[in-house]
Structure 1
């Protein structure tokens, strides 16, 4: 579209072409790349009553002359929200493909299921003939974001492809999907109420006083509420079976990042307690990178978990009463901490063009389990060393790792450490789980 935006023209309605130009102009310096045809290019479809811009729904209006328009102020608000998003292109989240993912058909009138849409588009492009046919007509954006410019494709063994997006964009698209769902629910409720109190109009549209036709509710969606420990002490196995729990979870803001809508209940796999509702992005970031059941690779995201955002994540993990009472972490997380923090000085380095580079990839495995800490041993090693050296860095007994973590916790997150320990917990469940018998011969104890 080449329609010119008139400087200083604020408020009122503008055409879709003018909205496209305004969106590009306002987001030209945004860290997140935006599309040049956010209102006129598929999957945007103004006739359904709204257009998604980032995490905001912008309602569309049909004037008496048949032209579709949007409120200029809403476009500017959406652009301001997007410009405030900070994006780290190195902090990536895998978005597919995944085995066993449900196949769904989509068209321009279906709600945003952005992971499935991206998978569908990339699978089409894998076929050269179909890619050639779609080259000039395929959608280039989701919620006004040009995701193709920031998609990272990684190939393993020259056959297995995986697709990755920056975490900030994943959170933004998750927020857009949630906002659209809430908006459609509000629209459905308004239509049902209108059908009871008023006769339906000729085309299912409401007419404004100035002759404009609107197709959606002119009201904001219900705001997300912050999580304030409402699920404290609940067992996941019980809570997850309650009717309507998924709808309740979707009404909270993620308890970790506190920006994206929550989507799942994160829980402690060792003790079974619910920690908090979190978004998909934080849930995947928290999950250990398992190679086998007792073997994990210490990936790059652990720097965020134990360095830059350590206090937030430690507070989240210690929402589990069992982990708080033991003043430690679940075994996979404690193993990752031992490799990443406690054994950091043991990791060798090699010369690089920019100085010294850490050797290979850290991996930590364990024998035994936390249920018998006296016989549990953590082994920290380096894989993929360019010179074939530096295999095993350290073997750390579980008890020693737990003691080291407790000392580090007091320095890294003193508020979390002050609330930990069996003598400093209030409201523990009557049948508390983490007191486990140690069969090593030293008697029963918290470890």
Structure 2
């Protein structure tokens, strides 16, 4: 009897522990599965991004635009007022390096001196040439007068002598007439030569004057009243002392109009298809968290670009700020929430409940002690949830994760006529 009691109690204890393990183990395995239920309510799709404020309209402060005429492509900045300086019209803004233009001016001045020398030489040559021509005409006039006297005196001579005298007189007259005609031609030639030289001189003078005018413009003054904001280069950096200003893009800084501001942001290539002009935007300011602004998408770039320190393509989006606020300043960082679409009363579930099966979207439901795979039709989705059009009811319990064992579970499919209602024109075209 004592022997039976000695072994009966341990055996009973082991049986009790086994029963408890079965009960607790089965319950714990069931408790490890997390379920969720659909929600009905307001559903919204938004895209968030950071941006930078800028003025929609601004007045450019630029270097001279005609630098390229003198083969000047880039000009360094020697001096520049601090960014944010409030200036009045006509006040100093920047100073550009004149060294390259100074060399051009020296060359132009030397060319001007050479042309002026050649002009003086042309005038002297013309004076000497015409003087010699006039002296020749005077000599021919004397010769013609002498020949005429010989003709008069030969009237008492033989006819042959008279004829010879007459011929010499006529020849002297022709030489005189020819000399006079040649003189007129020489005068015109001299005048044309001098005018040509004067034109060359004037062109050189104009070049020197234009260069001097451009050099004066290398000291840049504010065209209007406003706050100086440096121009931003293509790589995102801003103009500063030592930067070079291109002759093709001579803008040094801008004077923004603070009455209309906009936020410049970049949206990745995955989300850009959802963004459209006219969409509502909520804006926040990192510098002033308490200030909330509203805006509207005004432009969406058609071509993506590679931003610095980024491996993905992004598209530029411009958002106009609705409010006019005197505290807004260019380059302030904004947080932008673009409202893409919304549904007032939608049934939606977490994205974790959605799974792919044979090119279908499915969820796993809990029905009593069983699990069912249900085909669904999804609608719009945001970062966390997705709208369900067909396949899920408000009372369903959905698995948040894929069940451990999906073999042998019931699979339920939606009728083809229901699926047809939700097919897009693109899907129909692909089927055809």
Q: What TM-score, normalized to structure 1? A: 0.20
Higher-RCO chain (CA-CA 8 Å, sequence separation at least 6): 2
Q: What TM-score, normalized to structure 2? A: 0.20
Q: Which structure has more helix as a fraction of its residues?
A: 2
Q: Which structure has more strand as a fraction of its residues?
A: 2
